[in-house]
Amino acid sequence: MINTRKRERHKLSHPSSLSYKLTDNLSISKGSEWINRSEVLETFDLKKFEERTLFRTLEIIGQNREEIISDTQDRLFQKYNFEHTDVNLDWTSLVLYGDKSKLGKHGYSRDHRPDKKQITVGISELAGPINIPIGITVNKGNLNDMKHFAETYQQINDRLKPGSLITFDKGANSKTNMTLSLQIR
């Protein structure tokens, strides 16, 4: 997904990070401690590394996220002949407990924490019975669903078959978004 040179230099952007998120999932800081355990290093054929290496790897993943998502979508859609491409789109916010994120902004807090900055996340998934995520967008915490819709939708639009049903809630409902979603392919 990331070019070969970067992939070799940042070998941590592979299943060890995913394994951590699927098991202990405490924090990014604790992630380097978890991955540096001897059994994890051995399982994933890694060498011991410093915490900043993990941060740099995650930064590179973030910088290449659109390419990574697109490559993942390519592989999914090449491997599986999905019976439909009906999609569900939804948005949420995540509270930030630090102040370092450039995306962190005060906005409508679904977590009832207006005192905290947040980010907004858009998720797209193939609808049931498939139910697999095919896209994710991350934006500033003060971006409402109506405005976030376009980026989330455009990330998956070229994967949809003609006649696909696009489901989203009233938070993203607007004439502009309805028009955009009706212009499939």
Segment 43-99, tens digit of pLDDT? 989 999 999 998 898 889 889 999 999 999 999 999 999 999 999 999 999 999 888
β-bridge partners, 126: 87
Burial 53-90 (b: 16+ CB within 10 A, else e): bbeebbebbeebeeeebeeebeeeeeeeeeeebbbbbb
pLDDT of residue 27: 78
- Give CA separation, 133 vs 35, 137, 149, in Å: 26, 12, 16
Residue 7 pLDDT > 50, yes or no?
Answer: no
Q: Would you state the structure tokens that stand for residue 124, as one six-digit string?
A: 């797209």
Mean pLDDT of the chain: 87
Q: Is the pTM of this model over 0.85?
A: no
pLDDT band at 24 (very low <50, low <70, confident <90, very high): low
pLDDT of residue 183: 81
Q: Would you state the structure tokens that stand for residue 19, as one six-digit string?
A: 């394994």
User: What distance in Å separates the CA atoms of residue 132 and residue 44, rounded to the nearest whole number?
Assistant: 26
